Amino acid sequence: MDEAAVEQAADEERVGGFAVGAACRIDLGATSRQAAEIPVGLDPEGVVVDPRRRRAYVACSRSNCVTVVDLETLAPVARVAVGEEPIDIVFDEATDRIFTADARSDAVSVVDAETLAVVATVPVGTYPSGLTYDPAARLLYCGNSLGSTMSVLDLDTLETVATVETEPGAGAVGVDPSRNLAICVNFLDASATFVDTASWRPLGTIALGSGACAVGIVPERGEAFAVNSIAGTVSRIDLDRREVVEELLVGQAPVGLIVHPDHDRLYVSNRGAGTVSVLGVADGREWGQIPVGEGPGGVVVDPSDGRVLCANAGSGSLTIVEDLLAGPPPAADTGAAHPLVGRKLPAFALPDLDGVVRTSADWAERKYIVNFFASW
Amino acid sequence: MARSGLELILINVWEGNDAHAEAEMFRERWSVDGPILLDETGDYARELGIRGVPTNVFVDADGTVLEVGAVRLDELEAAIDRLTAA
């Protein structure tokens, strides 16, 4: 709250000793709250969360390292040298290992998360730039941009299970275990290659927008979402029909994408805009844009608190931000009543400051005002 | 609030760090004498479709929500009058 707002609050008429009005007013249009922007290294492109240790691992492509960030203290705590130009990164809880796609080394580095030592370097195709993994099937997928292939590695033995022909610019990979399907996005070819994960046979290629470079899957909808960085759109792909069914609008130069764990929204980082778009999965609308750092790339959601982590290649930092959007915003400011108006207040059971759980039944047959507030 | 016969319930949400300590400080700073409840997960605010703070929800004696919003002082006064008269 700025000084003017503090003075305004002090001047407000008090209701029951408490200024219900402007006391803690923030911008009502605010859709996010930034927790931190942490310097990590040069050109950070990929980020992943280690939920048990409360850490983020950030692949800094020009520093040739992984920077370890403590998510409680919001500070970098270690750096691990990997291969040249690590672009994407994955963390496997089962083996407690971090994997980086080191583009200029044509290899994947394997790092022990406990000791932070590189325990293996696995050769893949030329210029690996995208990683994803299927923890249940114990497989790691790697798109090799200049090799025009997709490598599939066994997460436990680190052996190469398959090498599948794709198209030039292969990078990001999405996996739908329920359909035995992998979809590899080809940046230079502006296309996506569908691969049968039972036989490792390519099933066909579909055209995407130019600069296709990231993909996310929503299996229960049978849909994939691919980001087209040059076209400035997100393609909604029907996985069964294998066709693009809708083009969604986001910000300038979108490059990164993650599906929220609730599957109700996508986060798309807009490299040109310095923002992350919040995109509704069902309605395909942009609910809002969250400001982050310069040149944002890799984006993930911390599963433990739902915060969004975004690696900013331009500013060499990691932004941690809360998305405050509860759902799609109203279509326009038409003065329409809040959906709650006219309905019964949903029951609550919440602890007070003495730890006593109070329920809405305590206020039955009384008139009252519920004031939602935060101290910030 | 006493003059209007309405009760005020504060619900702390989206606090980030130590919600209990922050809410306690808030109570002292603003001399709040009504109940302060903690919605630490944000689930209740989400269920109600609350998008920002502060937001006021005006509830009639039969539990019906009459209005949502009304944080500007003039809006607040008008909403309190309407709830009192309802």
A340-357 per-position pLDDT tens digit: 899 999 999 999 999 999
* Minimal-distance CA residue of chain A relative to B15: A374
d(C-alpha A245, C-alpha A20), whole Å? 47
Q: What are phi and psi of B79, to 5 degrees?
A: -70, -40
Contact A346 B47 (CB under 8 A): yes
Mean pLDDT of A136-142: 97
- Which H or E element spans position A170? strand A170-176
For A83-114, how does the pLDDT look when each residue is reduced to its tens digit (9 = 90+)? 999 999 999 999 999 999 999 999 999 999 99
Task: Indicate if the pLDDT at residue B54 is higher than 60.
Answer: yes
B77 vs A376, more confident: B77
Lowest mean pLDDT among A70-84, A256-270, B43-57: B43-57
pLDDT at A338: 82
For A174-202, how does the pLDDT look when each residue is reduced to its tens digit (9 = 90+)? 999 999 999 999 999 999 999 999 999 99
Mean pLDDT of A229-248: 92
Amino acid letter for position A97: R
Amino acid letter for position B85: A
Task: Please list every residue in chain B whose beta carbon sits closer than 8 Å to the beta carbon of residue A26.
Answer: 52-53
Contacts for A226-231: CB closer than 8 Å, 24+ residues apart: A226/A183, A226/A185, A226/A192, A226/A257, A227/A254, A227/A255, A227/A256, A227/A257, A227/A268, A228/A190, A228/A254, A229/A187, A229/A253, A229/A254, A229/A255, A229/A271
Q: How far is B33 from chain A (nearest CA, A)?
A: 7
Q: How far is A193 from chain B (nearest CA, A)?
A: 38
d(C-alpha B53, C-alpha B35), whole Å? 17
Q: How far is A305 from chain B (nearest CA, A)?
A: 9
Mean pLDDT of A318-325: 94
Query: Which of A17, A27, A28 has its CB closest to that of B33?
Result: A17
**Which ipTM score applies to this complex?**
0.93
pLDDT at A19: 38
d(C-alpha B60, C-alpha A364), whole Å? 10
* Minimal-distance CA residue of chain B relative to A307: B16
Query: Which of B1, B25, B45 has its CB closest to that of A375?
Result: B25
Q: How far is A32 from chain B (nearest CA, A)?
A: 9
Please list the residues that pair with A323 across neighbouring strands.
A32
Contact B46 A326 (CB under 8 A): yes
Angle at A160 between CA A154 and CA A166, to 5 degrees: 110
Contact A21 B27 (CB under 8 A): no
Q: How far is CA A110 from CA A82, A118, A276, in A?
A: 9, 6, 29
d(C-alpha B20, C-alpha B7), whole Å? 22
Task: Indicate if the pLDDT at residue A310 is higher than 90.
Answer: yes
Task: Indicate if the pLDDT at residue A323 is higher than 60.
Answer: yes
Between residues 27 and 86 of chain B, which touch chain A (CB distance below 8 Å)? 27, 30-39, 44-69, 71-73, 76, 80, 83-84, 86
pLDDT at A25: 32
- Residue A7 three-state SS: helix
d(C-alpha A120, C-alpha A217), whole Å? 29
d(C-alpha A67, C-alpha A135), whole Å? 23
Mean pLDDT of B45-61: 84
Contact B32 A18 (CB under 8 A): yes
Task: Please list every residue in chain B whose beta carbon sits closer than 8 Å to the beta carbon of residue A262.
Answer: none
For A147-180, how does the pLDDT look when each residue is reduced to its tens digit (9 = 90+)? 999 999 999 999 999 999 999 999 999 999 999 9
Q: How many CA atoms lie within 13 A of A62 on its CB side?
A: 11
pLDDT band at residue A376 under the 50/70/90 scheme: low
Q: Alpha helix (H) ranges present in chain A?
A: 3-11
d(C-alpha A167, C-alpha A187), whole Å? 9
DSSP β-ladder status, A317-323 and A32-39: antiparallel
Query: Which of B9, B14, B69 has its CB closest to that of A33?
Result: B14
Average of per-residue pLDDT values in chain A: 89
Task: Indicate if the pLDDT at residue A249 is higher than 90.
Answer: no
Contact B37 A375 (CB under 8 A): no
Query: Which of A329, A346, A358 has its CB closest to that of B48?
Result: A346
pLDDT band at residue A6 under the 50/70/90 scheme: very low
Q: How far is B23 from chain A (nearest CA, A)?
A: 7
Contact B52 A29 (CB under 8 A): yes
d(C-alpha A79, C-alpha A134), whole Å? 26
pLDDT at B75: 76
Task: Indicate if the pLDDT at residue A215 is higher than 60.
Answer: yes
Provide CB contacts within 8 A for A77, sequence distance 6+.
Answer: A55, A68, A69, A70
Query: Which of B2, B13, B46 has its CB closest to that of A374?
Result: B13
Q: How far is B27 from chain A (nearest CA, A)?
A: 9
Mean pLDDT of A235-249: 94
Q: What are phi and psi of B43, to 5 degrees?
A: -65, -40
- Residue A168 three-state SS: coil
pLDDT band at residue A48 under the 50/70/90 scheme: very high
Contact A22, A5 (CB under 8 A): yes
Probe site for chain B from A325, A350, A366 (most B CB atoms < 10 A): A350
Query: Which of B9, B15, B51 has its CB closest to that of A363?
Result: B9
- Sheet of A139-144: strand order equals A128-134, A139-144, A149-154, A160-165
Q: How far is B43 from chain A (nearest CA, A)?
A: 10
Task: Indicate if the pLDDT at residue A14 is higher than 50.
Answer: no
Contact B54 A373 (CB under 8 A): yes
* Minimal-distance CA residue of chain A relative to B22: A375
Query: Which of A325, A341, A350 has its CB closest to that of B51?
Result: A325
Mean pLDDT of B23-43: 84
pLDDT at A2: 42
